[in-house]
Chains A and B, each alone.
Chain A
């Protein structure tokens, strides 16, 4: 196995450097965050405020806040209702390629994992898009592994163009790009970008990203900023909970979004709280000490810090959890999910990234939302 001992803080030659102080601010905030120091009084004070600071957010993520989960949920539900009413957006991911040149120890797509690799042709992509569109969905997220040689920018651009002819909102969750590349994909029809830092702990980041472009920490960290400069409307943040100290990672995630929104007020912000899941050849992979109460605590804290931000709940979580968090704090839910390459129109062409826990169809999720007094929303976007 190839393990590269390159400095993860050094950019590679083809990577655009970003002159921004946000990364250093977040690193410093994360380093200084000591969850155990926060008290019940800090938590109560944070809950009683109308607007919350990063310090309040830190308290809400601390162990001292765990006994207040019910109160946090009530506050979060009020904030969610005020900002989103009872609307919950639906979407689905479409993996178009699982070729990857990164060696990330926690991921099913890592270059050393023996899985069935595949890349959809444009015709196959279109077949998948048609099938998904027929389910009623109008928001799609296109994903790839990281391989410029197999799933390069032009290929992704063509996939985006196709997707934008079937869907009102097209997002991408691919490898980080330079600003002009994001601008190209925006022009093709993409409007939102998801990039998860996985962990904001630089040492842990280096331990789990053993080779490939993803090993470079600052290039990944500044992806959202480059995306916004490239004209993308919306950016999503997240850490893979369970990979490192989840409280500190969640805190850094919130701080990252908070500071970036301050710098780019027009940006639409959203959070995703993925937990580690088992994947092919790694059935033992699990989210460590991030159990459902801790996961909920993170989601509620995101909601209370940034009441206007979207929060997406994926099929990494079981149906019962997803059903209860929508409306309380989550505002977007995936439905009819396949995390293999293709698999919507015909049998999957390539293996999945992780094992999903909620296979329900779009109609089933739609009915669940209505049954819970929520309003399914298929589109909330006009591309102008």
Chain B
């Protein structure tokens, strides 16, 4: 069950669910069930799929109360990402945009430099920009300065389901960046989503792990539960010796008489 007090903000909008669902690899008929079982409030979609004039338009399958987060997949440069974002707004998909600038067709790794450029242009143009990025602290800072509403570092390459390969670098972002850190790409299991939430990330985005499950609605439920559990564990305070910046939260030598 969501804790309505534990919300987070993106672009001035309040969200209670910390599970952002991708829609690209599903059968359209299953999208609604996945969204309901995930209890997701935000759904990403590739704009390049939403321009179809066929009866199989993904936009018709996403419930109207969901916040759309169109992505600029297909963009290889900042310029292409900006064009796709503007097209998204013209199509009535709202002002949220997830920037994906991917010049590499093999690993689908994002280009941080082009992503910063696109973020700056689109943020100035009134978009709520959520940039997909490789977890580099310097790039994250640049994205903050460029006007991003969050940062979305990858856990592992898109579609790989390899889990939190970049966990240490994501932790650095959580510790240093004041924006919501939303882990995106590569999460393969609910337990990995739980672990990321325990680290203090704001939300998880998952697509392949749900879409390739044998029972999609059940897997969506599992991710939901895992994300909530991880968030609760983070809020409860895990039994760590060290907190931010390496300072002990509970000194072991506090009993000493001076």
Contact = CB atoms under 8 A, between A and B. Distances in A.
A272 interface: no
B22 to A, nearest CB: 9
Contacts of B202: none
Contacts of A306: 106
A50 B55 CA distance: 37
B253 interface: no
A161 B240 CA distance: 64
Instruction: State the main secondary structure of chain A at its contact with B.
Output: loop
B224 to A, nearest CB: 20
Contacts of A308: 105-106, 108
A153 interface: no
Contact of A373 (B27, B55, B79): B27
Contacts of B243: none
A320 interface: no
A265 B105 contact: yes
B12 to A, nearest CB: 28
B56 interface: yes
Interface string A48-87: 0010000000000000000000000000001001111111
Nearest to B87: A382
Given A261-B105, A266-B103, A382-B47, A375 B74 contact: no
A57 to B, nearest CB: 14
A384 B105 contact: no
Contacts of B26: 85-86, 375
Nearest to A77: B212
A380 B53 CA distance: 12
Contact of B159 (A83, A138, A265, A267): A83
Interface string B159-192: 1111000000000000000000000000000000
B106 A379 contact: no
Nearest to A138: B52
A375 B103 CA distance: 26
Contact of A82 (B27, B105, B106, B208): B208
Interface string A357-370: 00000000000001
A375 B30 CA distance: 10
Contacts of B75: 384
B208 to A, nearest CB: 6
18 contacts: A50-B162, A81-B208, A81-B212, A82-B161, A85-B207, A85-B208, A86-B25, A136-B55, A168-B52, A265-B104, A306-B106, A308-B105, A370-B27, A375-B28, A376-B56, A382-B51, A382-B87, A384-B83
Given A87-B24, A266-B105, A375-B56, 15 more contacts: A84-B25, A85-B208, A168-B51, A265-B104, A265-B105, A266-B76, A306-B106, A374-B27, A375-B27, A377-B49, A378-B53, A379-B52, A380-B48, A382-B47, A382-B51
Interface of B: 24-28, 46-49, 51-56, 74-76, 79-80, 83-84, 87, 103-106, 108, 159-162, 207-208, 211-212
